[in-house]
Amino acid sequence: MSRVDGTVARTPEPGDEEAALKARHDAEFASFTESSYHTVEGILRSSCQDRDMVHNALAEAYLAGRAKWLQIRAYDKPIAWVITTARFKLLHERARQRTLVRREAAAARDLPSVTRGVPGDAFEAQELLRDWLRKLPPRQAEVFQLVRLGFTNTEIAHTLGVGEWSVRSYKSAALKRLRELAEEAGYGGDDRESR
C-alpha cells in the first residue's frame, strides 16, 4: 500500500477481480430470479395445482440455473431454460408420486370446482382464469401461458420440446375451450359481431 494525497491507495489483490466478477454475476442472477420467479411459477401452476411441488421444482431449477448462470445468461430468453428445467423436475416428481400412489393404492384427490360471479377487479379475473386453466389439459395450459408472455410458436416449441404444428394445435384448442368455459360462466359469446 502506498500513500497518495492523504488516502491509502490499495493495490488489487490477485483474487479481487474474480471476486468482483462473481459478485456481479450473483447480483445479476438475483435480479433475474426476482424478475422471473412469479412468471415461471404462474406457468407451472397452470399445469400443476400442488403449490409445494411447484415451489420445490422452482427451487431446484433456480439452484441449477445459478450453477449454470454463465451459460444461460447469454441465451435470448434465459427464462425458457428455467421453465424447461422446472417442468422436467415437475414431471419427474409426478412420475415418482404416481408410483407411490400405485404402490399404496391410494385414490387421487380431486379439487372441488370453484364457482365465481362476475369478476369485480383484476385479481378476481386472474383467479377466474387460473380456475379455467386448471380445467385444460396441462400442455394446452402451458402453451396458453407462454403465448400470454409473448413467446412465439417457435420459442414455445423449443421450450416444450414439441413441434410448431403441435403448438398451434394446443393454442387453438386452449382458446376454444377457454371461450367455452367463459360462455358457461355467463361471460357471453363472441362480441366481435356487435362491433
User: How confident is the model at residue 10, as a pLDDT?
Assistant: 58
| pTM of this structure | 0.55
Residue that the C-alpha cell 424478475 belongs to: 35
Most distant CA atoms of the chain, gap in Å: 80
Q: 73-101, pLDDT tens digit by residue?
A: 899 999 999 999 999 988 888 888 777 66
Q: 101-148, pLDDT tens digit by residue?
A: 666 543 333 333 444 445 556 777 777 788 888 899 989 999 998 888
d(CA 113, CA 162): 30
Per domain, the residue ranges of the chain are 15-108, 116-195
d(CA 46, CA 67): 27
Q: Is the pLDDT of residue 191 over 60?
A: no
Residue burial 134-147, b: 16+ Cβ < 10 Å; e: rest:
bebebbbbbbbbbb
The rounded radius of gyration (Å) of the Cα atoms in the chain is: 23
Please, which pLDDT band fits residue 3 given cuts at 50, 70 and 90? Answer: low
**Domain 116-195 adopts which CATH fold?**
Arc Repressor Mutant, subunit A (1.10.10)
Q: Which parts of the chain are beta strand (E)?
A: 2-4, 7-9
